[in-house]
Amino acid sequence: MKVISGDTILSVSLFSGTANVSYPVDNVLNEYPRKPFKATGSAATIRIAESGDGEAVAMFAANADSVTITSVVGTSVLVGDDESGEDIELGDDESGFTLTLCDTGEEPEELVYQYVKENENNGVIWMPISPSGYQRTLDFVCTVNAGHVEIGIIATGPVMTLREMERQTYQEGPVDYSIDLELQSGNFYRVDLGRSRQIPVSVYMWAGDGDDPGGDFTTYFDFYNDLVFPSGKAPKAWLLSESLDPARYALWGRFEVMPKLANWRSGFGIMSTLIREIN
Amino acid sequence: MAADTGLQLPGTVLDVAGTGDRSWSNDDNAKTESDSEYAECLHDKADYSNDFRLYNFGLTIPAGREIKGVKIQLRMRGEGALDPRLNECYLIENGSILSGCEDKGTDQLLGSNWYTRTLGGETDLWNCSLTSAICNSSTFGIQMKTYCGANQNNWHARLAWAKIQVFYEDIETAEVQDGAGKSEVIEVVVTGSFQDGLEQDGSAFAPESADVEEEASFSDSIVVHVGTVISDGIVRADAAAVTPEDEGDDGSGLLLAVASDSEYRNYSTKDQNLSYLWHGVITGIDSIKMTLSTKHGGFIQVSAGQVRFTPDAFGGLNHWSFSDWPPPKTLTAIFRCKIPGQQYSTKLFEGILYRARIGEETVVYDVYISSYTETIPSGTSLASWPSTNTLVGFFSKVCDVLGLTLDSSKAAVSPPALSHTLQNERLVIDVADEVAAFCCHCFWIENGTLYLQAMANANGTLSLQNTNDYLRTPRYIDEVPVNRVVAESGEYVGSEYPFGNDYELSVNYTGDDSQLQAIYNLVNALWIDIPMPVSVGCGEFVPGKEVTVLDNRLAVESEAVLKMRAVVYDFMSRKITIGGDGSLDQV
């Protein structure tokens, strides 16, 4: 189970293609899938400047049939003035070693990640990417076989990895927000205000000191300090299971109920919460 | 059914030198709606003004629509009873009179008071071959000329402003359809004015008192246009026109187009992903109500209470936010209603939002409607004020003063004469409201036209025989009965309710008791409220529409027939209630 806990997107722009003026490209950064970016054509390239710490990309309310992400790490070096206004010059460091700038001739690192839609994906795309450690550019080349490109949400950032849900048992119950008005006939006139899934989450976590002795999983207190406390009810990209189809188990959701921890002396505990899908 | 551009002011004016004896001065004043600033031509005896052209009206008629008619309004005055006069008036494009264009100047005297002259109309093409491309052209417009006869030197012809309105083919009809496939094509025009306090219990109209004076508070007026494709005539404070819009087939509920001095936003009660994105920043809106001032007639008016926004609708926090913080003190707004499956939204009315409260959870605005402020002086005899002393003559004069066109086609065939002298200076719209009510007429204003309608006349029909058309619990309400209607020295005493109250009218506008029995019948009539889903009722409101309802939940299956007088739009619970006087009979 994973969650993109932070947001490492610095800016977004439309590199190629044309945006529907009512649906600009920065709509992919708001938290509302129903405020999407819409292109006027079947292809568009969204360029995102990213800090380099992102470990996964998630897209929601996306109709793209294929997405190719090209990651390019920036290599520009600026030499200018220091704080005193003096020129920064090459010289020696404190140990007497000579400082030099040199062009190694290496091309910028370029990685390509590709997604091709094979089955109905429910508008959901989840792609692991490698962090670069340096600021980079992510170009999302999105195409659709018919119609216009439409992307609701793009999220990227560091990923927290949790165990699979307790006993690998998943429950979900959609909640319907419709209004019912009773007609004279006794039937109901229904104002459809949509539905969303609500998924109880119950995960075994390390809540003792230090790292999780059982594996490379996020501890409860990192989970709380780096996600629950700073973000609260802000929606995040969740992958509820790494072993099941992301089309059904990745969702854009928020804590409907704040996580609770039931801890016992061993240091392990059960974190339980309720995640509400935002769609 | 025609759509129209709304009345638009010109963007450019031109005094064409050498085309007459006299030139115009202060030309640009004709581009703004103000009586105090005007273009003028100083005439001598027997001379003509230069041609004065007004064009670049910024019309945006969809391509390919058939043009149905052109109406222009000229707000003019002269200086005497005889001269000067409007000599010529044509439609032009590219500086030339359109081929075959009819001259509608016809030497009409300007008179010594400001007067809005209406030329052409909804079905008048001026004998021209017009297309949407011609009308949208920045050179399309009006060319006029004035003339002064042999009466006086140094007389001015003055033009405060000119407007044009083009009517064109409406390819979309506003069709409503219920779940059972029942549908009806609607053509509705309604006008009302802002008034608070008529609604106490959610009913569409709930007169509690028989005292007309307590009900009468009609200082503001608005234009309401329901049931057709609308070109929004709304203009922001920076004079930029707000663009007309279509909405797509999906979506429902309230769509609120809001404009500040420099920005224009689409807001709604939820995110609506239509051809334009309507942002769901409205957290609440009071019911929008259109009501008649009395049960026996008057001015159909609108009240809308408050609109509440999320704070991030302002301060530039999102690209859909207004950039100003604090939120602008006033905003211009168009209220629209949308139902799924209908391509275009229905315009309910235009108004002004005035900031009421800024809080951390909401920003609240009060809704106001623009007003008519013209008055009738104290001591004015309503018998001699109009040129013809009838109710229709009175409203013709009202329209002259307010700059409106009168449609009296649904007024009484033999309208009563008036007999009353005002004791105080009164707002024209207030007096008109009371006179109409006294004579058992209602009226509303839409796109520069005042529609006067007898309460007894039906205005279309709507059948709600399918019990899926409306919600449970229609209400059938009888107010406290009235036994006697009194107006100054006149009275009518009925025989049915000897235990009933007096209904006292402080003014007898006809000077006799000829209208009192009709008032008696209307105030004693059964009042019927019918709630219905937004999808059925949105765009259904038209004054006087005869609505038939089959109600099989009463103890005995019955049919109610009412004439629609009022409507309440409750967007938060997705319900519309229509109300009116009527009858209930066993099927």
CATH of the domain at B248: 2.30.300.10
Residues B285 and B404 in one domain: no
**Residue range(s) defining the domain that contains residue B428:** 375-440+447-453
Per-residue DSSP letter, B244: P
A217 belongs to a structural domain: yes
Q: Judge whether A129 and A156 are in contact, CB under 8 Å.
A: yes
Q: Examine the pLDDT at B195 and tell me if it is beyond 80.
A: no
CATH number of A129's domain:
2.60.120.260
Residues A35 and A64 in one domain: yes
Residues B201 and B313 in one domain: yes
Q: Judge whether B289 and B323 are in contact, CB under 8 Å.
A: no
Q: Judge whether B481 and B497 are in contact, CB under 8 Å.
A: yes
Q: How far apart are CA B227 and CA B243, in angstroms?
A: 19
A94 belongs to a structural domain: no
Band the pLDDT of B578: cuts 50, 70, 90.
very high
Best of B178, B269, B274, B471 to disrupt the A interface (most A CBs within 10 Å) is B471
Q: How far apart are CA B560 and CA B465, in angstroms?
A: 10
Residues A153 and A234 in one domain: no
**Residue range(s) defining the domain that contains residue A270:** 166-277
- In chain A, which residue's Cα lies nearest the Cα of B550? A184
What residues in A contact B559, CB-CB < 8 Å?
none
- Interface membership of A36 toward B (CB under 8 Å): yes
A143 belongs to a structural domain: yes
The predicted structure's pLDDT at residue A240: 93
C-alpha B227 chain-centroid distance: 13
Cβ contacts of B274 within 8 Å, gap of 6 or more? B247, B248, B250, B251, B338
Comparing B140 with B214, which gets the higher pLDDT?
B140
Cβ contacts of B411 within 8 Å, gap of 6 or more? B391, B392, B395, B441, B452, B453, B454
Neighbours of B494 (CB within 10 A): 17
Residues B517 and B429 in one domain: no
CB pairs under 8 A between A and B: 60
Which of A36, A179, A184 shows the shortest C-beta gap to B472? A184
- Interface membership of A187 toward B (CB under 8 Å): yes
Q: Judge whether B454 and B472 are in contact, CB under 8 Å.
A: no
Decide if A179 and B573 are in contact by the 8 Å CB cutoff: yes
The domain boundary, picked from B146, B169, B192, lies at B169
Residues B67 and B105 in one domain: yes
The domain boundary, picked from B169, B191, B220, lies at B169
For this complex, say whether ipTM is above 0.85. Answer: no
Decide if B471 and A193 are in contact by the 8 Å CB cutoff: no
Residues A54 and A189 in one domain: no
- Longest alpha-carbon distance in chain B: 82
Residues B463 and B429 in one domain: no
Tell me the three state secondary structure of residue B127.
coil
* Neighbouring-strand partners of residue B12: B55
- The identity of residue B219, as a single letter, is S
Alpha carbon of B248: minimum distance to chain A alpha carbons (Å):
13
Residues A64 and A150 in one domain: yes
The predicted structure's pLDDT at residue B374: 92
Residues B68 and B101 in one domain: yes
Burial label, B284 (beta-carbon count in 10 A; 0-12, 13-18, 19+): middle
In degrees rounded to 5, what are phi and psi of residue B224?
A: -120, 130
Q: How far apart are CA B247 and CA A124, in angstroms?
A: 27
Residues B491 and B533 in one domain: yes
For A11-29, give one letter per residue: b (16+ CB within 10 A) or e: ebebeebebbeebbbbbbb
Residues B320 and B464 in one domain: yes
Residues A14 and A47 in one domain: yes
Residues B285 and B354 in one domain: yes
Residues A231 and A134 in one domain: no
Per-residue DSSP letter, B571: T
Residues B130 and B57 in one domain: yes
Band the pLDDT of B424: cuts 50, 70, 90.
very high
The predicted structure's pLDDT at residue B297: 95
Q: Judge whether B548 and B465 are in contact, CB under 8 Å.
A: yes
pLDDT digits (tens, 9 = 90+) for A66-125: 999 999 886 444 455 556 666 655 566 677 766 555 555 555 667 899 999 988 889 999
- The identity of residue A32, as a single letter, is Y
Residues A52 and A188 in one domain: no
The predicted structure's pLDDT at residue B173: 34
pLDDT digits (tens, 9 = 90+) for B276-306: 788 999 999 999 888 898 999 999 988 888 9
Band the pLDDT of B51: cuts 50, 70, 90.
very high
pLDDT digits (tens, 9 = 90+) for B249-263: 666 778 888 888 878
Comparing B345 with A31, which gets the higher pLDDT?
A31
Can you state the angle between helices B391-402 and B428-438, rounded to 10 degrees? Answer: 160
Q: State yes or no: cis peptide before B84, omega within 30 of 0.
A: yes
- And the tokens for B176? 């409503």
Residues A176 and A65 in one domain: no
Percent of chain A with pLDDT over 70: 88
Tokens 């009660």 appear where? B269
Residues A217 and A150 in one domain: no
Cβ contacts of A253 within 8 Å, gap of 6 or more? A197, A199, A235, A236, A238, A275, A276, A277, A278
The predicted structure's pLDDT at residue B247: 57
Question: Please, what is the average pLDDT of chain B?
Answer: 81
Which of B270, B320, B471 shows the shortest C-beta gap to A181? B471
Cβ contacts of A89 within 8 Å, gap of 6 or more? none
| Sign (positive or negative) of CA dihedral B65, B66, B68, B71 | positive
Residues B356 and B266 in one domain: yes
What residues in B contact A191, CB-CB < 8 Å?
252, 533-534, 574
Per-residue DSSP letter, B241: B
Q: How far apart are CA B230 and CA B172, in angstroms?
A: 11
Which of B252, B270, B277 shows the shortest C-beta gap to A23? B277
B interface residues, A as partner, C-beta within 8 Å: 179, 252, 270-271, 273, 275-277, 279, 318-320, 466-472, 474, 533-535, 551-553, 573-575
CATH number of A203's domain:
2.40.30
Tell me the three state secondary structure of residue B516.
helix
- The identity of residue A91, as a single letter, is G
The domain boundary, picked from B153, B169, B185, lies at B169
- In chain A, which residue's Cα lies nearest the Cα of B472? A184
Decide if B574 and A191 are in contact by the 8 Å CB cutoff: yes
Burial label, B453 (beta-carbon count in 10 A; 0-12, 13-18, 19+): buried
* Neighbouring-strand partners of residue B201: none
- Interface membership of A195 toward B (CB under 8 Å): no
Neighbours of A169 (CB within 10 A): 9
Q: How many domains does chain B have?
A: 3
Determine the average pLDDT of the residues in B373-393.
93
Residues A135 and A19 in one domain: yes
In degrees rounded to 5, what are phi and psi of residue B192?
A: -145, -170
Residues A28 and A133 in one domain: yes
Decide if A181 and B279 are in contact by the 8 Å CB cutoff: no
Percent of chain B with pLDDT over 90: 43
- Interface membership of A164 toward B (CB under 8 Å): no
- And the tokens for B151? 């009466």
The predicted structure's pLDDT at residue A107: 59
Q: How many domains does chain A have?
A: 2
Residues A202 and A264 in one domain: yes
**Which among A279, A278, A271 is positioned nearest to A1, based on CA atoms?**
A271
* Neighbouring-strand partners of residue B2: B169
- In chain A, which residue's Cα lies nearest the Cα of B572? A179
Q: Examine the pLDDT at A210 and tell me if it is beyond 60.
A: yes
What residues in B contact A179, CB-CB < 8 Å?
573-574
Which of B275, B276, B471 shows the shortest C-beta gap to A184? B471
- Longest alpha-carbon distance in chain A: 92
The predicted structure's pLDDT at residue B530: 93
In chain A, at which residue ranges do the beta strands (DSSP E only) sit? 2-4, 9-16, 37-38, 43-50, 56-60, 66-73, 110-116, 125-128, 136-143, 150-151, 153-157, 159-161, 173-176, 179-182, 188-191, 195-206, 236-239, 250-263, 268-277
A24 belongs to a structural domain: yes
- And the tokens for B347? 């315009």
Q: Judge whether B471 and B534 are in contact, CB under 8 Å.
A: no
Band the pLDDT of B212: cuts 50, 70, 90.
very low
Alpha carbon of A184: minimum distance to chain B alpha carbons (Å):
4
Residues B577 and B587 in one domain: yes
What residues in A contact B574, CB-CB < 8 Å?
179, 181, 191
